[in-house]
Amino acid sequence: MTSETDGWLLISVSTAGAAATLRVQVWRKLRSLGALYLQQSVCLLPLRPEVVREVRRLTDRMRQHGGSSRVLRIAFTDPAEREQVIAELNAARDAEYAEVLERLPSFMEELAMERARGRATYAEVEESEADLERFSSWMAKIAARDYFDAPGGQVARDAVARAAEALAEFEQAALSAEAPPDPAALRPSPSRRLRAAEES
């Protein structure tokens, strides 16, 4: 019996005769799930509960809008073939993680440049927070379809974590620039002055 750890879904879709928008929707959904295309309109996905659920919803939508599909549960009889498919899936995820890594340096450079210009401000913090949130959201989407822990995942996660640390430092600089400590809070209290006098 095929288990959820070694089973696969073979998906064949057709949008012939349906609205052009359906073809785009199907393609986007399968790509978002990380499907590996074997040929046009035929792809593979690992058999996981969340994948089965999303594919079922997709096929229902296709039928409602004039498309058709066939979904077969299969298992590889050749371990080498299975490993090759996993390697291709991981390569696709690594390519996506690499895109994140390619764009992160500009985020870090922007923070450094704004600090060098003395422009560590709340407005810049907000803007950079929005940028970092986009990176985090992007990473979450890739991770959701990273079924076999592609090697590039940890490298990208570490890079995003460093970006978050850099933003925290930038925010602290903005706080220091825009909200300097209250001078009164820095002056010793009367009791502290009295103790200091007694000790001297």
Percentage of the residues of the chain whose pLDDT score is greater than 70: 86
Report yes or no on 117 lying in a domain: yes
What's the average model confidence in pLDDT over 17-43? 94
Residue 2 clears pLDDT 60, i.e. is over it: no
pLDDT at 151: 96
Residue 177 clears pLDDT 50, i.e. is over it: yes
Round the average pLDDT of the chain to a whole number and report it: 89
Report yes or no on 64 lying in a domain: yes
- 89 and 151, same domain (yes or no): yes
Q: Which domain holds residue 102?
A: 82-179
- 133 and 156, same domain (yes or no): yes
- 125 and 98, same domain (yes or no): yes
Under a CB-based contact definition with an 8 Å cutoff, are residues 55 and 71 in contact? yes
Q: Cβ neighbours of residue 164 under 8 Å, at least 6 residues apart?
A: 132
pLDDT at 187: 56
Residue 188 clears pLDDT 80, i.e. is over it: no
- 99 and 165, same domain (yes or no): yes
pLDDT at 117: 87
pLDDT at 184: 56
- 21 and 71, same domain (yes or no): yes
- Indicate the pTM of the whole model: 0.82
- 86 and 161, same domain (yes or no): yes
The last residue of one of the domains, among 32, 52, 75, is: 75
CB atoms within 10 A of CB 138: 17
Number of domain units in the chain:
2
